[in-house]
Amino acid sequence: MSINSRNKGAAFERQIANALIEDLNLQNPVKRILEQTRTKELPDLMLGTWCIECKAYGAGAEPRPDWWDQVLASSSGQGLKPALVYKFNNRPIKVRVLANSINKEIKNNLVTVDLLWPDFIQIILELFQEDIELHEQNYQV
């Protein structure tokens, strides 16, 4: 990975962390997990039980399968929900999640849903208040 792509990735992680704070009206910061550069299977960001991997890429429209595999690996075995936030040049930010993270009636854990960023935020606000509360509690003194 070149230094420019590493910088682009870190900048996108910061952008998403700041967007989560603003869009969810969080009182506490969403911090980048800096150890993820040295340790495999750590997410870029955490929000409650959401394990968030961020990818910004030049050309394209669909996320690479290894990006999804990466977020699945970082969320497996811990009761965490995977979310892949991705963006290509001149395209909107999207988020891929497991369909059964949103609706427990969906039993097939291979079905994914790609959402626009505002839709993902609305789903978090409406269905996952406990994750917002968990995030805020983790930063209390």
Instruction: Give me the domain span that covers residue 84.
Output: 3-137
Domain tally, the chain: 1
Residue 130's CATH number: 3.40.1350.10
* In the block, residue with structure tokens 């595999």: 69
Task: Specify which residues 86 forms β-bridges with.
Answer: 55, 94
pTM over 0.75: yes
Which of left, alpha, beta for 79 (phi over 0: left; psi -120 to 50: alpha)?
Answer: left
Going residue by residue through the chain (141 aa), what tens digit of pLDDT does each one get?
Answer: 454 666 777 899 999 999 999 999 999 999 877 555 445 568 999 999 999 999 999 888 899 999 999 999 989 877 899 999 999 999 999 999 999 999 999 999 899 999 999 999 999 999 999 999 999 998 654
